[in-house]
Amino acid sequence: MILFLLFSFSFSDLIDDMGDLWSNLNKAQGPTGFEVLQFDMDAMVNSMGGNYWDKGVHALMSNPSEIIKDEDPSGINPSFVFTHRALSCGMVTEFMGYVFPKWGGFWGIALEGFFSGDMELRDERPGEALGTYSAENLIIGLTYARRFDDFSIGGTYRYLHERIFNEAISTYSFDLGISRSYTFMDDKIVRMDIAFLHLGPKFYDDEARLPTTWHLGLKTKIGSFRGGGSVDKPLNTEIQYSIGGEYRMEWLSIRAGKKFKNPLEKYSFGIGLRKESFSLDYSFSPTDNGYEGSHLFTASIGL
């Protein structure tokens, strides 16, 4: 019986099955809306391709579990962050976030807005412009995270509102995340994080989905270097990979990141300035589609 099973087993069939599994896992689906959720809204995070080391208010849009610091929450002051992201064709995104310790964990409140500006309205292409129209997104988020020894868990609820011309829709989403630090030689120099982002219902008459994404990242801190790599699978693209790092001096940080299979940006770089509890960060992401790149400016302060 065993010999029969061995001779009847086909390794080529196994390889085909594994290939089918990978194809389904790596399949781009859609359509999706609220794609502004896929934008990095922190210059520090963006400049390293999403592979940041510092936790806190900078992680509000990345992994909810990482808004909490490693230290005792009772000894950490609230912090505030503001980001302005200039996109191509005059489009902009603004982001404000506030993180504070309460009830043994950390709470975060975030407000994000996307504004397209005036765009030409046409009934056909090519054709004469009939006028102008605009689009905007409004996103409000509430986050809570709690630490347990070397790992932390967090979640975010968001209210999403979108208007395009005279059509409007509202929906909601959830983020879930976990982060785990590993200690070597009395120092926490490795961290792994997992997140499931933008979980939510279909909208627009059940024809569109949110850009649901799963994320796996591995980061390290060695001397003045901080960085790592990550894997992301948004619903509307193939699996994406990224690497990035930061070299930190006393008051200045130099950063760079590279993204693979990402349709929005290929690589990014930036700098950061720090003075006590205040930081100012800048990131630039060039594009290869003929449009200008994306500039991010982020200011954060501990209160």
From the list 48, 72, 75, 73, the residue with the least C-alpha distance to 62 is: 48
Reduced to 3 states (helix: H, G, I; strand: E, B; else coil), residue 46 is helix
**What pLDDT sits at residue 171?**
93
CATH number, span 41-302: 2.40.160.40
HSE-CB at 196 with a 13 A cutoff on CA atoms is 6
From the list 190, 156, 194, the residue with the least C-alpha distance to 177 is: 194
Burial class (CB in 10 A: 0-12, 13-18, 19+), 140: middle
Beta bridge pairs of residue 113: 94, 138
Per-residue pLDDT of the chain in tens (303 residues, 90 and over written 9): 444 444 444 455 445 544 554 555 667 776 788 888 988 899 999 999 999 998 889 999 899 999 987 654 555 678 999 999 988 777 889 999 999 998 888 999 999 999 887 666 666 666 666 677 678 899 999 999 999 888 899 999 999 998 887 788 899 999 999 999 888 766 778 999 999 999 988 887 777 888 889 999 999 999 899 999 999 998 888 899 999 999 999 899 999 999 998 887 888 999 999 998 899 999 998 876 555 778 999 999 987
Could you tell me the pTM of the whole model?
A: 0.85
Token pair listed for 32: 């999706």
Ordered by start, the domain boundaries in the chain are 41-302
Q: Cα 257–38–97 angle (5° rounding)?
A: 90
Please say whether the beta carbons of 45 and 195 come within 8 A: no
CB neighbour list of residue 195: distance below 8 Å, 6 or more residues apart: 62, 63, 64, 65, 175, 176, 177, 178, 213, 214, 215
Q: How far apart are CA 149 and CA 59, in angstroms?
A: 19
